[in-house]
Amino acid sequence: MSAIESAVRDTLPRAVRDLARRVEYPKGTPVFRQGDPVRAVFQVLGGEVRLARFGKDGAELVLQRARPGEFFAEASLDTSRYHCNAIASEEAALLEIPARALRELLDEDTKFARQWAALLARQLRSARARLERLSLGSAAERVRHYLNTEGHGTTCEVELSGSLKDWARELGLAHETLYRTLARMQESGELEREGAALSLKAHRKRV
């Protein structure tokens, strides 16, 4: 297990870690299909899983792109069947948490139920930040927003876990647009970049 995977797993309460098992899915492999019986809730350790349905015209409608640290299928915990498809967008490592055991733990352990609610609340805040970011008009605004909401320290430092192309997709930008934007921000002295590490030179108030 990589350092990133270990860090993600360590965010879980011990009770969940004891229930979960690590599974891997090659790129393009379904984790589950719409209508399958609910068997588990998942957390992404590495890679990406997209949750999607298909419209009447056959077009794929993406509901969520679950990335490292994020849960998916938690909304199906109180239903009998999955309401969408989950497909590995790239090779994905997941923690699989059995649904029945998780339900029992939530019913029997009040302390754990509070911990679980807090985990989902953090994920909801992150999802809201992404929606807010995607509503911004310019690429530079989206980069600043990402660093301000996801970064650490007074310079809002971020260490990208994937490629710039991956980050461009997350920001809703063409990768060429992101490359040009980063270059302009570096030239203006606003942004520092060293490998996968990015930070703002001047402290900015968090969004």
Which H helix or E strand runs over 19? Answer: helix 14-19
pLDDT of residue 203: 52
Domain boundaries, the chain: 3-113, 136-200
Same fold, 3-113 and 136-200: no
Answer with the residue of higher pLDDT: 2 or 159: 159
Answer whether residue 206 shows pLDDT above 50: no
Q: Distance (Å, rounded) from C-alpha 185 to C-alpha 17?
A: 41
* pTM greater than 0.85: no
- What SS3 state is found at 28? coil
- What SS3 state is found at 176? helix
Q: Which of 116, 121, 122, 126 is nearest to 17 (CA)?
A: 116
Q: Which of 167, 150, 159, 170 is nearest to 193 (CA)?
A: 159
* Position 69 confidence tier, pLDDT thresholds 50, 70, 90: confident
Q: Across all residues in the chain, what is the average pLDDT?
A: 86
In percent, the amount of the chain with pLDDT more than 70 equals: 91
Question: pLDDT tens digit string along 31-49?
Answer: 999 999 999 999 999 889 9
What homologous superfamily is domain 3-113 in, according to CATH?
A: Jelly Rolls (2.60.120.10)
Q: Distance (Å, rounded) from C-alpha 102 to C-alpha 119?
A: 14
Question: pLDDT tens digit string along 165-179?
Answer: 878 877 888 889 999
Is the domain spanning 136-200 CATH 1.20.1730.10? The answer is no
